[in-house]
Amino acid sequence: MIITGAIFYLFILLSGTGGEMCVSRAMKSIGEVTDFRPRSIARVFVRAMKVPWMWIGVAMMALGFFSLLGLLSIANVSFVYPASALSYVVGALGGKFFLGENVTKQRWAGVLLVALGVVLVVVGRG
């Protein structure tokens, strides 16, 4: 059960957050949404569905979601949700290296605090 949980956890972190990175890349490629009328939103939606990164991201996010369901079936929610906050670390790393974003020192400090919080949750799992 521990190995199954660890596999689910890795899928949550890597495919869930990786999917968010892919969707972000897709949306950045179509440009900023500035018109929120229904017809304009529909056009943006159609354009987004034509970007391969969007489909890759949606598939990865689905895998992450179903992994979350699997992990919730074998672990306590009071452990799963706080421990899944480690996705903030993965997100910051993905933003920096996959999307080329500028991550400030202050943001890295916040990510470090989140990671330390996850360590407390895991150590106190008992």
pTM score: 0.85
What are the sequence ranges of the domains in the chain?
Answer: 2-123
pLDDT greater than 80 at residue 1: no
Place of tokens 């969707």: 23
| Beta-carbon contacts of residue 42 (< 8 Å; ≥ 6 apart) | none
Phi and psi of 20, rounded to 5°?
A: -65, -35
Mean pLDDT on 1-22: 91
Residue 125 binned pLDDT confidence (cut-offs 50, 70, 90): low
pLDDT greater than 80 at residue 112: yes
- How many CA atoms within 13 Å lie on the side-chain side of 72? 11
pLDDT greater than 70 at residue 114: yes
Beta-carbon count within 10 A of 90 CB:
18
Q: Residue 126: what pLDDT?
A: 60
Q: What does the pLDDT look like over 33-73, one tens digit per residue?
A: 899 999 999 999 999 999 999 999 999 999 999 999 999 99
